[in-house]
Structures are given as structure tokens and as C-alpha cells.
Chain A
Amino acid sequence: DGGITQSPKYLFRKEGQNVTLSCEQNLNHDAMYWYRQDPGQGLRLIYYSQIVNDFQKGDIAEGYSVSREKKESFPLTVTSAQKNPTAFYLCATSYGAQGAEAFFGQGTRLTVV
């Protein structure tokens, strides 16, 4: 069953704790992305990776970190430096780096209490 798996679907953390969101894909896509979505808002780009062992900051990278050690995996860590981490996080992939359809996971809803 091909696709993008984000886990967990819901995540609760205490303020001040780091938390890592998982994104795994078996589509053999080179490019992977992380977006943040707040209620009633659009998608804001956090980080993206066009190839293994390389990634770039998006528009709102502060307080987040990523790694791309394997083509299939692009985990996102929400650090304690992120001032308002409660949000819906979406992982996406695309076949090419640019100009191609994006495929999205089902998202992880993070709530920090």
C-alpha cells in the first residue's frame, strides 16, 4: 500500500518538551516537505528536502529541526524554542523538486499543554 505515513495522528506534550513527528514514504520520491497549518489558516512551509542528507529552511523554520538520513524518512522535531507549537502538521512529498504534484500525509495534530 503506497503512500505517506505520519504518526501519531494526535500528540500531546507538556510545554518545554521537545517532540518528534514521524513522516515515512514509500513512493520513492526525492523531495519531502513539512508544513504547519493553524485553524482556518493556509499551509506554511517549515523545512524541505530535495535529496537525502540535504535540507533547507522554509518560511517558519525557527524552533524546528529536521533530518534526512534516508530517502524514505523526514522526521520533524518541534523544540522548546518554538513559542506556539500547537498546530496541525502536514508532511508532503513530490517526485521532482519543483513543478510536480505534492502528495500529503494525513497530518499530526500536536497539542502542547
Chain B
Amino acid sequence: GENVEQHPSTLSVQEGDSAVIKCTYSDSASNYFPWYKQELGKGPQLIIDIRSNVGEKKDQRIAVTLNKTAKHFSLHITETQPEDSAVYFCAAPLHMRFGAGTRLTVKP
């Protein structure tokens, strides 16, 4: 399957700060780049995604940016809030694989 690397594995920020999580993929044929949020004891849910024909997509406080040349895409969360604390996963749907996850903690 495709190699998907996600960094960092843990991230702690102060409430109101920004958080950035990066995902690197290997298959240049990939054309869909999603991010999922998993809360404790639940299944992951899609929070934002992007197709390869655009470089950035925003939805209120979250955004995803894509660099196809470098084969990486990033999740940006601005004005973080305690409820943003969760585990975030990137995915390579072309091969049904997920990154190892990033545990984000937002401190009040």
C-alpha cells in the first residue's frame, strides 16, 4: 500500500494559537486528500478534504493546503479551542491507508 507519513505525532498548543499537521504521501496518482478527526472512543469523521485541482481549501477555522510537487498536504487549525483536542488523521484514499495520527491537545 501507499506510504503515508504524518507529523508530528503529538502537538500541544495554547488556546487561541494555531496548529499545523503535515502529511506526506508517495503515490503521485493520488488526487484526493482528506483529514479526519477522532474523538475518544469513537470512529474518525471527515473534517475537511481537498482535490488535486486546487491548492487550498478553508472551512471556518480549519484549512487544508496541498503541494503536489512536494507530495504533502497540511491541516491548519486557527484560533484553537479546547474542543479541538482530539486525534487527527490524514489519509491516502487511493490505497485506503491512514497516517499514524496526531494527538492535538489545546490547553485552556
Contacts and interface: CB of A to CB of B under 8 A. Distances in A.
The finding on whether chains A and B are genuine partners in a shared complex, rather than unrelated, reads: yes
Interface stretch (A66-74, A75-83, A93-101): A93-101
B43 A105 contact: yes
Interface string A24-57: 0000000001010000111101001000000000
B93 A92 contact: no
A19 interface: no
Interface in B34-50: 34, 36, 41-46, 49
A106 interface: yes
Contacts, number: 59
Contacts of A58: 1, 96
Interface residues of A, number: 23
Nearest to B95: A98
Interface in B78-108: 89, 91, 93-101, 103
A22 to B, nearest CB: 15
